[in-house]
Amino acid sequence: MTTQLSHAAARATADFDHTVERLCGYLRHPAISCDPAHRADIDTLAAVIAADLTKLGLTRSRVLTLDKALPLVAAEWTGAGPDKPTVLIYGHLDLQPVQGEPWTMPPHEPTRKGDRLYARGAADDMGGWVSHLGAIDAWLQETGSLPCNVRLIIESEEEIGSPNLERYMDAYPDAFAADAMILTDCENPSTDLPGLTVSLRGLFELEVKCEALSADGHSGLWGNMVPDVATALVTLLARLVDRDGRLTVARVDVPEGRRAAAARVPISAETIRKGAHLLPGVEPLPERGTSAGEWLWLQPAVTIVCTTLPTRERKKNALRSSASATLSLRLGPGQRAEDVKAAVTALLTSDVPQGVKVSVTQEKPAGEGWYYEPKGPAFEAADRAYLASWGAKMVRVGVGGSIPFVALFGERFGDLPLILNGVMDPESTAHGPDESMHLGVFQKAILANVHLLWELAQPGILR
């Protein structure tokens, strides 16, 4: 390890509590992007971050705006000169809502409890990009420079699907110009094992509707001789899944290399129990010859996200005229929505129970899945950085969810090294109550980023 690198790493360790406090300051802003009532909170936080980046030593720190879009913070440091590569770091400042969730502590007042920091956004995604600020600060404080040029992008619309990110890319191309990109919104398979995300599932929705009557009818008068759309809908929906609750159609024939890679990631039953908050006595679904990683990341899945079946407040003794359900369908990486839609439609519209009329319609455009093959010296450099800080190389993992900004970066910048990392772990409960970040993971992430900037700057890695 060179003297400069060792000094920067030591400074990052010494300043760890200061970096945690910086993070806590940001977490106190309820920057909830899906709620217009919090627009002022987003604007305020964006301005605070931009000012802090200037104090940190970055240049051209600014809040970018577009019509009918939430702001985006951009900054850079180009003091390494044109002969050194430029690394772009992406994160997002916006948060998921908390209303109605059973938090046991204030969601917007960070709370340290044991080895975890609790707050909405602690892991998703404030901790991710603030870990890079800790690394940048350590380099600048200790050496007065960075090993390479850096650009920073902090979005405020990720939690609503990044609807304007591509517009920002088009309007401000210089803010995104780089030789490699680090995207900081991903998970580690454990607090001891760092993850490099290489795949995402796609997502789309279908509405399944059953119709039989022109108006609701009296169930006592017509029951047993008139179709009941509610039971017909339930019967149809049951076709979608096997006894384990997994989609019965459109399963993916995963290439052996990807299957083997997913199987190598240790996802224990205990990890699933804790991470998914299973009740006592409820067990994870059986693997049945397919690894947990493949089920979670590479195979399609279905969830019923809403129905028009009556609620308790609207119950009555009546045969309903129609009933529908909205299905959320996860696509395996590379799987086409039209193929899955065709398979689901064929399943639900053949041999229809009770003779009801069935329609299947797609409600929104599909979000594409994504698979990335991490090859080349940049990923070898990342492995060295993580080995130095975590004591382990990055494990190739998938994400079962759908992250639109990742697919967009892959589409626009797929010829560049894309390093997807983060500070989440299976117990972070991102998007749920009592979201938290493991402080040991945060500290290792900061050190990994100190090393990563150094490694990516070396000749022959990016240039």
pLDDT in tens, 210-223: 999 999 999 999 99
305 confidence band (pLDDT: 50, 70, 90): very high
Written as six digits, the tokens of 412 are: 């626009």
For the chain, what is the HEC assignment?
CCHHHHHHHHHHHHCHHHHHHHHHHHHCCCCECCCHHHHHHHHHHHHHHHHHHHHHCCEEEEEECCCCCCCEEEEEECCCCCCCCEEEEEEECCECCCCCCCCCCCCCCCEEECCEEECCCHHHHHHHHHHHHHHHHHHHHHHCCCCCEEEEEEECCHHHCCCCHHHHHHHCHHHHCCCEEEECCCECCECCECEEEEEECEEEEEEEEEECCCCCEEHHHHCCCCCCHHHHHHHHHHHCECCCCCECCCCCCCCHHHHHHHHHCCCCHHHHHHHHCCCCCCCCCCCCCCCHHHHHHCCCEEEEEEECCCCHHHCCCEECCEEEEEEEEEECCCCCHHHHHHHHHHHHHCCCHHHCEEEEEECCCCECCEECCCCCHHHHHHHHHHHHHHCCCCEEEEECCCCHHHHHHHHHHCCCCEEECCCECCCCCCCCCCCEEEHHHHHHHHHHHHHHHHHHHCCCCCC
Residues 64 and 161 in one domain: yes
Judge whether 268 lies within some domain.
no
- pLDDT for residue 406 is more than 70: yes
Q: Count of domains in the chain?
A: 2
Distance between CA 446 and CA 428 in Å, rounded?
18
Lowest mean pLDDT among 101-110, 121-130, 360-369, 381-390: 360-369
Same domain? 209 vs 328: yes
396 and 356 housed in the same domain:
no
**How far is it, in rounded angstroms, from Cα 398 to Cα 316?**
46
Q: Are strands 202-211 and 322-331 parallel, antiparallel or unpaired?
A: antiparallel
Last residue of a domain, one of 346, 362, 378: 362
* Residue found by looking up tokens 């080995």 in the block: 387
| Residue 157 structural domain | 3-199+369-457
Q: Give the mean pLDDT of 419-439.
A: 96
> Per the structure block, which two tokens stand in for 115?
């080895």
**If pLDDT is split at 50, 70 and 90, which confidence band does 407 have?**
confident
Beta bridge partners of 111: 118
Residue 137 Ramachandran class (φ > 0 left, ψ -120 to 50 alpha, else beta): alpha
User: What pLDDT score was predicted for residue 1?
Assistant: 65
The region, left, alpha or beta by phi > 0 then psi within -120 to 50, assigned to residue 143 is: alpha
Sign of the Cα torsion 140, 111, 155, 61 reads: negative
Residues 374 and 352 reside in one and the same domain: no
309 and 385 part of one domain: no
112 in the same domain as 168: yes
pLDDT more than 90, % of the chain: 95
Answer for the pair 142, 8: CB distance below 8 angstroms, yes or no: yes
Do 244 and 381 belong to one domain? Answer: no
Residues 207 and 193 in one domain: no
> pLDDT above 70 covers what percent of the chain?
100
- Is 282 contained in some domain? no
311 in a structural domain: yes
Look-up of token digits 């950085």: 385
Mean pLDDT of the chain: 96
**62 and 126 share one domain:** yes
**Peptide bond preceding 125 in cis form (omega within 30 of 0):** yes
pLDDT in tens, 34-53: 999 999 999 999 999 999 99
CATH code of the domain in which 429 resides: 3.40.630.10
- Helix axes of 3-14 and 439-457: crossing angle, nearest 10 degrees: 160
Establish if 259 belongs to a structural domain: no
Does 102 lie in the same domain as 30? yes
- Are 121 and 153 found together in one domain? yes
In a domain, 288, yes or no: no
- What the block records as the tokens of 398 is 């998938």
Same domain, 166 and 64: yes
Distance CA 250, CA 201 (A): 14
Q: What is the mean pLDDT of residues 293-318?
A: 95
In a domain, 262, yes or no: no
Which residues lie below 8 Å from residue 310, measured CB to CB, with a gap of 6+? Answer: 316, 320
CATH number at residue 317: 3.30.70.360
Q: Is 91 inside a domain boundary? A: yes
Residue from 202, 161, 242 nearest 329 by CA: 202
Instruction: From 311, 328, 362, give the residue that closes a domain.
Output: 362
pLDDT digit string, tens, across residues 93-116: 999 999 999 999 999 999 999 999
- Of 259, 252, 193, which is closest to residue 448 (Cα–Cα)? 193
Task: From 362, 385, 402, give the residue that closes a domain.
Answer: 362
Per the domain annotation, does 281 fall within a domain? no
388: left (phi over 0), alpha (psi -120 to 50) or beta: alpha
pTM: 0.91
